[in-house]
Structure 1
Amino acid sequence: MSILYLFLVLFILLIAGAPVAVALGLASLVFILLDGMPSLVVLHNMVGGINSFPLIAVPFFIMAGHLMNTSGITTKIFAFARAAVGWMYGGLGHVNVGASVIFAGMSGAAVADAGGLGNIEIRAMKDAGYDTDFSVGITAASSTIGPIIPPSLPLVVYGVIADTSIGQLFAAGLIPGLLMATALMIMVSVFSRIRKYPRDERFSLSIFISSFGHAILPLMTPIIIVGGILTGVFTPTEAAIAAVAYSLCLGLFVYRTLSWKQILKVSQDTVETTASIMMIVAASSIFAWILTANQVAQAFATELLSFTQDKTAILLIIMLIVLVVGCFMETIAAITILTPVLLPVAMQFGIDPVHFGIILILNLMIGLLTPPVGMVLYVLSKVSGVPFERCVIATAPFLVPLIIVLVLLTFIPALSMWLPTLIYR
């Protein structure tokens, strides 16, 4: 019965608009007091939940993304992507996707992509005569590639909670991220043919070489991060620190676009963002401990098995649950709540934790593009001046290719498991 109170209090607090961390913490405290346990159990588990070495990567990846945005490196990335794929029909739509793939290897966060590249991309597409809705829609959809291609903040948090190798998770995200980019570029091509969008410009080898020369140092960032992790030179945490050091060198000494005042502002933003994430992780740690101690996952698995024992049906049910939760809850909070409940069920059916992590994160990324939460849509609404409701409608068609990729990844595990199996196993 106490478990029912746990979820009831959590639901009431979330509906009332309480921050996720507060809702999780208070709901857990109510359960513990009703169960007769000392309240210090809450603090003990919250501290234990964030006392994890891999979590140190979170603030450094956040800071690296902020530094890239502040130092103007995103402009160089956009220019290179424009020279590389702008010659295709609907060129700036393809540039949008290509730039997001490159930036994904630096920031690992969809909101950072939308906030950093989004303004540049939407303004350039508007100036070139593209429909505003199309510009906003493809910008929103392409930003979801960031948390799939390594490095990825959600994958770091999932790896800590699921006790799964973050290096394997990073390797597993590479091919799915490229699949997402391919699917979105196909969608751009379809729209471009129907609406007769122009090519941005003819391909010019000299412009390509020139833009590559200007962007080569920023382009080295994902190579340093991803290559260092996959080859074993760095742990994910060390790679995050290296990314910050490299970003500082570019901004301070190479391009000289960073001032110490800007670095202070970036540091403040990093602390603020990290604090909110860590509060959620800490609060969800006690929540997850309660669920595990009371065998909620086993009870949920038993209920599912009484309904059906078909693996395909179970996967569809799990993905539907995640999709619905993703529409209403912030990504990190959803990961920390859903993983202890759903991962044991998935593992009972022989689903690898690495594979499950990829489909879980992609599913939650789709949630970032749907109301009522839709954090990416709120960011793009702010940077583009387009009303939130219109952003929702503009993004809806681009959910189709993302859902297709999600289905493929769910039922063809090799798409995500081939690379980590090749490298680590």
Structure 2
Amino acid sequence: MAAADEILPLVADSDAPRAGSRFMRPVEALAAALLMVVVLQLLANALSRYLLHLPIIWGDEVASIAFIWLAMLGSLVAIDRNEHLRLTLFVRAMPERLQRFVDTLALLLVAAFLLALAYPAYDYASEESFITLPALGIAGSFRAAALPVGICGMAALAVAHAVRRSKLADILISLAIVAAALGAMWLAAPALIKAGNVTILLFLVGFVAACLVAGVPIAFCFGIGTICYLAFSTHVPLLVMIGRMDEGMSSLVLLSVPVFVLLGCVLDHTGMGKAIVDFLASLLGHVKAGMSYVLLGSLFVVSGISGSKVSDMATVAPALFPEMKRRGHKPKEMIALLATGAAMADTVPPSIVLIVLGSVAGVSIAALFTSGFVVAMVLLLALAVLARFKARHEDMAGVTRAPGKLILKTMLVAAPALLLPFFIRGAVSSGAATATEVSTFAVVYALIVGMVLYGGISLRTFYGMLVETAALTGAILVILACAVAMAWAITQAGIANDLAAFMGALPGGAWGFLAVSILVFLVLGCILEGLPAIVLMAPLMYPIARKLGINDIHYSMVIVTAMNIGLMTPPIGIGFYLACKIGQVSPDEALSAIWPYLVALFAGLLVIAAVPWISIGML
């Protein structure tokens, strides 16, 4: 899937010992059960509305309660498995002894942040007891109680990890550093409050950057900066931060995220993705650059099912890399094409990034899906032209056109899988169903087709998929929660107005703003990955774009494409390292090969930015 998009754990320390595995089994089981509740409730609500024309009035409330508990329990599982997304580039460059100390400090910073939120979260849940859910007739605290439970659980696991993995001296020194920092900020609080918006640079830039360098998970980097800013340089109670975090995780549009993540798991485990790859290989494999076209085409089509870059790459690479090597493709070139192909396909529906963007920016998801498909076609063309140029000396000895019978056979095998992305795009783009409803129908369809035609899924495997989806959902939603809280703090400080004034004064008007936006999201894509960058910046940038007369959909396509290019740009881009790990190629080896492909994507981005019709002409 991040992330996230994707948002995914391969850059985290996923091989480290788990702190609470024995005690986490009931939590994993409950998270898996809640995911099933969400899927079944969404399916029941959709079927009741379409077949009986009778919506289940309490359905949204049940789904909302299950979703917030799924998010918090999933985040617990992600902490236990070390699957919260973080930047490890700087930590891994440190001497081994220093790495261990910095890891300990990062864990205790996370624990301190969570403990600081524990009482406000309890207070928030208590306040929600005065609110009655209208359909179910129960107190809102049944839902809000997930926040203190999840926060306290994550704090306990962070401490358990530190105790299990760290030396006593490292723990004591880290505690002393955290205590000294808190004491210094407490003493400086009166001066910090008088300093005004200057403290934004200290807390929401300096602290966040320092935590990123130290390998603190990205979600908690945002959270630490925000809570320090609110606690020591404003009079805003921390209860408000909990409210903003709840808001960030509570949009019903986001219900489709775990369902599409689960769909990606089904795709991987049933072999539906491989069937698509085999069909495209039989169709195009005999021409020069044919396997490169197959790789790009597979990423394009498969992305329309899974919505996850990592799921796409993990499906395509093992199926195509052996034949590509036989034809003389260098491993570093294959990784470069894999990484940039995944970036290209990230706007293909049902992109999780587009779903989240639609939620936080108030943009039509159906319009984003339609536009994203066209934009991906432009980027696909740019990469295909470069791939053909690079394949001019490809060894085609012994390569023959596949017989018509083989093409027909692979097409028939792949047909049920090929129908799925077109169903998803068509249903959402036409307005016949929401992204959330489509995601549930798609999962049921994929499960039935996968079990009947593609080998099936054992109950043990399916349970593992549910737990995996819950963990990734938790990691994604905690990022959203903390990023929304941070964006709110920036907005309340008046920075949004200052930023709007600055951007409005840029030379070139709308075109100057688009150029700056491309630069900003290229950098943020490198550092923060997709979802955090989108959630953090969308509330600030979209009002400015609207004032300058830039269409929401056009602007969305420009920034998402820029962000995806940044995500794959070394030496920091996280997606680049994901591709290297999936393709089992050293990042050092792949580093020199990826630049021409990034240039091709950037050329496509400039065309998309300069020609708004590409983004909005099909709406």
TM-score normalised by length of structure 1: 0.94
Counterpart position of 2:241: 42
Counterpart position of 1:148: 347
CA displacement at 1:203 relative to structure 2 = 5.1
Deviations 1:331-360 (A, max 9, x none): 111111121222222222111122111111
Deviations 1:35-88 (A, max 9, x none): 111111111110011111110010011110111011112221111111222232
CA displacement at 1:282 relative to structure 2 = 0.6
Which of residues 276, 279, 282 is equivalent to 1:83? 282
CA distance, structure 2, for counterparts of residue 155 and residue 395 of structure 1: 25
The AA in structure 2 aligned to 1:174 is F
Which of residues 176, 181, 199 is equivalent to 1:2? 199
Contact 2:506 2:513 in 1 (8 A): no
Counterpart position of 2:540: 341
Contact 2:580 2:586 in 1 (8 A): yes
Go from structure 1 to structure 2 and tell me whether the alpha carbon gap of 1:140 and 1:201 turns closer, same or farther (over 3 Å shift). farther
Counterpart position of 2:40: none
Query: Mapping of 1:97-176 within 5 angstroms?
Result: 97-176=296-375
Aligned with 1:147: secondary structure? helix
Go from structure 1 to structure 2 and tell me whether the alpha carbon gap of 1:280 and 1:305 turns closer, same or farther (over 3 Å shift). same
CA displacement at 1:180 relative to structure 2 = 1.4
Which of residues 244, 268, 272 is equivalent to 2:467? 268
CA distance, structure 1, for counterparts of residue 246 and residue 575 of structure 2: 30
CA displacement at 1:196 relative to structure 2 = 3.2
Aligned with 1:244: secondary structure? helix
Aligned with 1:146: secondary structure? helix
Go from structure 1 to structure 2 and tell me whether the alpha carbon gap of 1:401 and 1:145 turns closer, same or farther (over 3 Å shift). same
CA distance, structure 1, for counterparts of residue 301 and residue 506 of structure 2: 44
Q: Judge which range, 6-15 or 67-76, deviates more.
A: 6-15
Q: Does 1:198 align with 2:396?
A: yes
CA distance, structure 2, for counterparts of residue 407 and residue 198 of structure 1: 34
Aligned with 1:126: secondary structure? helix
Counterpart position of 1:241: 440
Which structure has the larger Rg?
2
Percent of aligned pairs with the same residue?
A: 26
Query: Mapping of 1:314-325 within 5 angstroms?
Result: 314-325=513-524
Query: Mapping of 1:250-289 within 5 angstroms?
Result: 250-289=449-488
CA displacement at 1:226 relative to structure 2 = 0.9
CA distance, structure 1, for counterparts of residue 344 and residue 268 of structure 2: 17
CA distance, structure 2, for counterparts of residue 251 and residue 123 of structure 1: 25
Counterpart position of 2:126: none
Shift >4 Å, 4+ stretches: none
Contact 2:344 2:601 in 1 (8 A): no
Which of residues 187, 210, 219 is equivalent to 1:12? 210
Contact 2:336 2:590 in 1 (8 A): yes
Gaps of 5+ in 1: 421-425
Counterpart position of 2:569: 370
Contact 2:518 2:559 in 1 (8 A): yes
CA displacement at 1:155 relative to structure 2 = 0.5
Deviations 1:248-307 (A, max 9, x none): 112223323311111111111111111100000011111111122223222112223344
The AA in structure 1 aligned to 2:599 is V
TM-score normalised by length of structure 2: 0.65
Contact 1:355 1:416 in 2 (8 A): yes
CA distance, structure 2, for counterparts of residue 197 and residue 310 of structure 1: 50
Q: Does 1:212 align with 2:411?
A: yes
Contact 1:24 1:283 in 2 (8 A): yes
> Which structure is higher in RCO with an 8 Å CA cutoff and minimum separation 6?
1
CA displacement at 1:119 relative to structure 2 = 2.3
The AA in structure 1 aligned to 2:510 is K
CA distance, structure 2, for counterparts of residue 347 and residue 232 of structure 1: 24
Counterpart position of 1:382: 581
Query: Mapping of 1:34-73 within 5 angstroms?
Result: 34-73=233-272
CA displacement at 1:99 relative to structure 2 = 0.8
Aligned with 1:144: secondary structure? helix
Counterpart position of 2:227: 29
The AA in structure 2 aligned to 1:21 is A
CA distance, structure 2, for counterparts of residue 280 and residue 410 of structure 1: 28
Aligned with 1:105: secondary structure? helix
CA distance, structure 1, for counterparts of residue 612 and residue 285 of structure 2: 33
Equivalenced residue count is 419
Contact 2:262 2:469 in 1 (8 A): yes
Go from structure 1 to structure 2 and tell me whether the alpha carbon gap of 1:95 and 1:309 turns closer, same or farther (over 3 Å shift). closer
Counterpart position of 2:593: 394
The AA in structure 2 aligned to 1:129 is G
CA displacement at 1:7 relative to structure 2 = 2.3
Contact 1:111 1:375 in 2 (8 A): no
Aligned with 2:617: secondary structure? helix
The AA in structure 1 aligned to 2:293 is H
Contact 1:100 1:146 in 2 (8 A): yes
Q: Does 1:182 align with 2:381?
A: yes
Go from structure 1 to structure 2 and tell me whether the alpha carbon gap of 1:385 and 1:255 turns closer, same or farther (over 3 Å shift). closer
CA distance, structure 1, for counterparts of residue 557 and residue 506 of structure 2: 26
Counterpart position of 1:423: none
Q: Judge which range, 127-136 or 146-155, deviates more.
A: 127-136
Q: Judge which range, 24-33 or 213-222, deviates more.
A: 24-33
Aligned with 2:363: secondary structure? coil
CA distance, structure 2, for counterparts of residue 270 and residue 178 of structure 1: 29
Go from structure 1 to structure 2 and tell me whether the alpha carbon gap of 1:338 and 1:392 turns closer, same or farther (over 3 Å shift). farther
Aligned with 1:56: secondary structure? helix
Q: Judge which range, 293-302 or 73-82, deviates more.
A: 293-302
